[in-house]
Amino acid sequence: MRVLIYFGIGILFGIVMYKSEAASWFRIYEMFTFGSFHMYGIIGTALIVGILGVQLLKVKKVKTMQGNSINFKPKEKRVPRYLFGGIIFGLGWALAGACPGPIYVLLGAGYFPILVVVLGALLGTYFYGYFRDKLPH
């Protein structure tokens, strides 16, 4: 039952990513060259609704389906890992024209060379895990 819920949420997410064209390499290029408001509109409205919704969930102390408190994960108060990691990810995001969510979406849409990006991402994740203790966080 739970599995079906997660699967359903994933399907909805995949459809939204595809139909919003957020999974299009062209849209990412256009965003980084400030050619269109489209991507900023998507991120901006997601954030407005997201911020208001999260505040509402907190104020109303809404419980999860299982009856627990919602797990809002606070992030660590550090700079280097977020800045350096962020820049490295940004380089890849612009080159692949896809962040991790759209990578799965493009695979489903039938753009199979994205599998090479997946292979790279797994290797990159592995390298991070391997060198983690030597990196400034």
Partner 1 sequence: MDWILAPWPWYVSGPLIAFVMFLLLLVGKNFGMSANFRTLCTLCGANKKARFFDFDWKSQRWNLVVALGAIVGGYIGAHFLSNDNAVILNPDTTEELHTYGFESAGNAYTPNELFDMKAFNTPKTLFILLVSGLLIGFGTRYAGGCTSGHTISGLSNLQIASLIATIGFFIGGLIMIYFIFPLLF
Q: Considering the rule CB under 8 A, would residue 53 count as an interface residue with partner 1?
A: yes
Nearer to partner 1 (CB atom), residue 59 or residue 108: 108
**Smallest distance from the beta carbon of 59 to partner 1, in angstroms?**
14
Number of residues that bind partner 1 (CB under 8 A): 115
Q: Considering the rule CB under 8 A, would residue 76 count as an interface residue with partner 1?
A: yes
Q: How many CB atoms neighbour CB 100 within 10 A?
A: 14
Q: Considering the rule CB under 8 A, would residue 60 count as an interface residue with partner 1?
A: no
Q: Considering the rule CB under 8 A, would residue 112 count as an interface residue with partner 1?
A: yes
Q: Kindly tell me which residue out of 59, 60, 61, 130 binds partner 1, with binding defined by CB under 8 A.
A: 130
What's the half-sphere exposure (Cβ side, CA atoms, 13 Å) at 36? Answer: 12
b/e sequence 83-96, b meaning 16+ C-beta within 10 Å: eeeeeeeeebbeeb
In contact, 39 and 27? CB cutoff 8 Å: yes
Q: Kindly tell me which residue out of 60, 61, 66, 134 binds partner 1, with binding defined by CB under 8 A.
A: 66
Nearer to partner 1 (CB atom), residue 38 or residue 59: 38
Q: Considering the rule CB under 8 A, would residue 75 count as an interface residue with partner 1?
A: yes
Residues between 84 and 103 with contacts to partner 1, criterion CB under 8 A: 84-97, 99-101, 103
Q: Which two tokens stand for residue 38?
A: 């489209």
- Tell me the one-letter amino acid at 129: G
Residues between 4 and 23 with contacts to partner 1, criterion CB under 8 A: 5-23
Burial of 133 (0-12, 13-18, 19+ CB in 10 A): exposed
